[in-house]
């Protein structure tokens, strides 16, 4: 391979490395924001009641989906 081609490939790999590192940094920041938001929400009044309500909704939805699957089979 020509030296110029190798240099070009090296530069592209370095650029990709920088992009991936930036993505990792942004992903870590997003995770920190999400965890922080969740912890804040947990401290709000009514959190436990809202959580129980969501659990019940999911359970009912899953039961309805199972009934629909049984009827179509």
- Say if residue 36 is in the same domain as residue 51: no
**Whether residue 57 sits in one domain with residue 33:** no
Distance CA 27, CA 14 (A): 20
Residue 19 CA to residue 73 CA, distance in Å, equals 49
d(CA 37, CA 29): 12
The SS3 call for residue 36 is helix
- Do 27 and 4 lie in one domain? The reply is yes
pLDDT of residue 66: 82
Which pLDDT value is given to residue 68? Answer: 80
Give how many domains the chain has, as a whole number: 2
pLDDT of residue 73: 60
Is 35 found in the same domain as 5? Answer: yes
Clarify whether residues 53 and 37 are in a common domain: no
Task: Please check whether residues 4 and 31 belong to one and the same domain.
Answer: yes
Q: What is the pLDDT of residue 1?
A: 81
Q: Along the chain (73 residues), what's the average pLDDT of each consecutive run of 10 residues?
A: 94 98 98 97 96 95 83 66
User: How far apart (Å, rounded) are the C-alpha atoms in residues 54 and 52?
Assistant: 5
Q: Are residues 34 and 13 in the same domain?
A: yes
Residue 70: predicted pLDDT = 72
Strand ranges inside 1-68, DSSP E: none
- The residue range of the domain holding 18 is 1-42
């Amino acid at each position: 391979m020509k030296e110029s081609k190798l240099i070009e490939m090296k530069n592209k790999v370095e650029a990709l490395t920088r992009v991936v590192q930036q993505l990792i940094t942004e992903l870590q920041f997003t995770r920190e924001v999400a965890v922080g938001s969740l912890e804040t929400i947990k401290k709000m009044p009514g959190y436990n009641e809202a959580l129980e309500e969501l659990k019940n909704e999911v359970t009912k939805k899953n039961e309805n989906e199972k009934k629909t699957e049984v009827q179509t089979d």
